[in-house]
C-alpha cells in the first residue's frame, strides 16, 4: 500500500498507522507535510510576483500598440513653448501624445498642466530623454508605436547661435538625423518638421515665398537648412509623408490661460522681444533694449511677421491631416504682414498698460532687416490662414498668463 507520497517509510518509529483500508500520518509527520506545503505555496506566490514585475511579462502599454482610430504622435520638445501648445491642441483633438524633452529649455510645469487636463490612461505620456543620445532614441522608438512625429526640439536663438555655433549644429542638425533614422527603422510614416524663416537669410525681395532662395546668415538658420536638406534627400527614396513648416516670429499663448511662455532666466538676453517687453513691464529688467535702428526700413528698426502660437499649432495639425505618403509639403507659416520693432513696442505698452523705458542699441549679430511671408501656398493647399492677427490682442493674452505666473511654471 502506498502512503501519501507513494513511498512507505520502513522505519518503525515513523510507520503510518492503518485504519481499515486507509493510512493516516502520525501528528509529527503531518506537521512536516503541512510545512512543506506552505513553503511550496510561498515559493509559487513569490515566483508569480517576480514574473509579474518582469518587463518581459508585463502587460504591454497602450502606447506600445497601434489602435484603430487613434493616432499616436511623438512631440519632441513638447515641454517647450511651442511644443506644449501643440501637445495641448493634439490632446484636445483626441490624439494620443508622447512628449520627449530633456528640459534644457522646456518646463516640466507645462507637462504637469497637460497631465492634469488629460489624466485618462493612454492619452499622454512624458519621457525625459535627450535626442542626442542614440540609445535613448532607439529605446523610445522601440517601446512605442508612433504614427507620426512633430519635431520641435531645438535650441532657437539667433544671437546665441552666433556665439555657440557647434551647439546649434549638433542640437538641430545632428539630432534631427537621429530622429529621422529612428523613424525609418521603426517605419513611422509621417514627419512634421518645425523649421524657420531664418533659412531664407536676408532676401532681396519681399514677401517671402516657398521658392525664395535659402541663404541663411546665422548658424541657427544654417543648421535648420541642413536638417531640411537631409529630410528632403531621404524622402526621395522613402514613402514617408513629410511636411516642413517654416514659420516666422511666434507670439501669444493659449487663449484659455493654461499655458504660456517661460524662458530660462539665463536666456533673457537672447530671448524673444515679447519676453523682454513683459520683463520690462513687470520691472524684472530696467527697460527694453531695441537692437538696431539703422536698418533700411520705414522707421530704422527690423520688420518681422508675428504669428500667434495658436495659429501656428493649427497649421501643424492641418499639415498632419494633409500629409501624404511619398510627398513633401513645404510651407511658410505667417500672417503675410510685417511689423516693425517700434510698432511692436508700442503694442506691448498698450497691452500691458505699463510705461516701458526703451534703450536703442547697435545691431545684434546675425539679424536681418526685413522678413515677412507670403501665405498664399498654405492657404491654397492646407486651407490655413492666420486668425489671430491683432498684435495687441495676442500680446494681451500672453500678458494675462505672465501676470498670473510671474515666475513661469515654478509653482507647478
Q: Which residues are catalytic?
A: 220
What are the phi and psi torsion angles at 11 (to 5°)? -70, 135
Number of other residues whose CB lies within 10 A of the CB of residue 83: 28
Contacts of 212 (CB under 8 A, 6+ apart): 200, 203, 205
Task: Please say whether the beta carbons of 86 and 150 come within 8 A.
Answer: yes
Q: Where do we find the cell 501519501? A: 4
Alpha-carbon distance of 23 to 11, in angstroms, equals 15
The SS3 call for residue 34 is helix
State the Cα–Cα distance between residues 32 and 200, nearest whole angstrom: 85
The CA distance from 125 to 113, in Å, is 12
How many CB atoms sit inside 10 A of residue 292's CB? 18
- Report yes or no: 223 and 170 within 8 Å, Cβ to Cβ: no
Sign, Cα dihedral of 249, 252, 258, 263:
positive
First-to-last alpha carbon distance for the chain, in angstroms, is: 74
- Region of 170 please: left (phi>0), alpha (psi -120 to 50) or beta: alpha
Residue recorded with cell 508675428: 306
The three-class DSSP label of residue 366 is coil
Cβ of 363: how many Cβ atoms within 10 Å? Answer: 14
- Give strand ranges (E) for 148-189: 148-151
Report the length, in residues, of the chain.
Answer: 412
Amino acid at each position: 500500500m502506498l502512503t501519501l507520497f507513494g513511498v512507505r517509510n520502513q522505519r518503525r518509529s515513523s510507520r503510518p498507522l492503518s485504519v481499515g483500508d486507509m493510512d493516516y500520518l502520525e501528528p509529527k509527520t503531518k506537521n512536516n507535510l503541512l510545512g512543506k506545503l506552505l513553503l511550496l505555496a510561498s515559493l509559487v506566490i513569490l515566483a508569480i510576483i517576480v514574473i509579474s514585475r518582469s518587463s518581459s511579462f508585463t502587460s504591454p502599454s497602450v502606447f506600445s500598440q497601434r489602435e484603430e482610430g487613434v493616432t499616436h504622435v511623438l512631440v519632441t520638445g513638447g515641454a517647450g513653448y511651442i511644443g506644449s501648445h501643440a501637445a495641448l491642441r493634439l490632446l484636445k483633438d483626441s490624439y494620443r501624445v508622447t512628449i520627449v524633452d530633456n528640459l534644457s529649455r522646456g518646463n516640466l510645469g507645462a507637462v504637469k498642466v497637460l497631465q492634469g487636463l488629460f489624466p485618462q490612461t493612454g492619452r499622454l505620456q512624458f519621457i525625459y530623454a535627450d535626442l542626442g543620445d542614440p540609445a535613448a532614441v532607439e529605446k523610445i522608438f522601440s517601446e512605442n508605436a508612433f504614427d507620426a512625429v512633430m519635431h520641435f526640439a531645438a535650441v532657437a536663438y539667433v544671437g546665441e547661435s552666433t556665439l555657440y555655433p557647434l551647439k546649434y549644429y549638433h542640437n538641430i542638425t545632428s539630432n534631427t538625423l537621429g530622429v529621422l533614422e529612428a523613424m525609418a527603422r521603426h517605419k513611422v510614416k509621417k514627419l512634421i518638421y518645425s523649421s524657420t524663416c531664418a533659412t531664407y537669410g536676408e532676401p532681396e525681395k519681399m514677401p517671402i515665398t516657398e521658392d525664395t532662395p535659402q541663404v541663411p546668415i546665422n548658424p541657427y538658420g544654417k543648421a535648420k537648412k541642413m536638417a531640411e536638406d537631409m529630410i528632403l534627400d531621404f524622402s526621395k527614396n522613402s514613402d514617408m509623408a513629410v511636411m516642413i513648416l517654416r514659420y516666422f516670429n511666434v507670439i501669444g499663448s493659449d487663449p484659455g490661460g493654461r499655458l504660456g511662455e517661460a524662458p530660462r532666466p539665463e536666456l533673457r538676453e537672447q530671448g524673444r522681444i515679447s519676453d523682454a517687453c513683459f520683463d520690462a513691464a513687470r520691472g524684472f529688467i530696467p527697460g527694453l533694449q531695441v537692437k538696431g535702428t539703422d536698418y533700411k526700413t520705414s522707421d530704422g528698426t527690423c520688420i518681422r511677421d508675428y504669428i500667434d502660437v495658436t495659429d501656428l499649432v493649427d497649421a501643424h495639425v492641418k499639415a498632419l491631416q494633409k500629409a501624404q505618403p511619398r510627398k513633401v509639403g513645404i510651407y511658410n507659416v505667417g500672417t503675410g504682414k510685417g511689423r516693425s520693432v517700434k510698432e511692436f513696442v508700442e503694442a506691448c505698452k498698450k497691452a500691458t498698460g505699463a510705461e516701458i523705458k526703451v534703450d536703442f542699441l547697435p545691431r545684434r549679430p546675425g539679424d536681418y532687416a526685413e522678413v515677412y511671408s507670403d501665405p498664399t501656398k498654405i492657404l491654397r493647399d492646407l486651407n490655413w490662414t492666420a486668425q489671430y492677427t491683432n498684435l495687441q490682442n495676442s500680446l494681451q493674452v500672453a500678458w494675462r498668463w505672465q501676470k498670473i505666473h510671474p515666475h513661469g511654471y515654478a509653482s507647478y
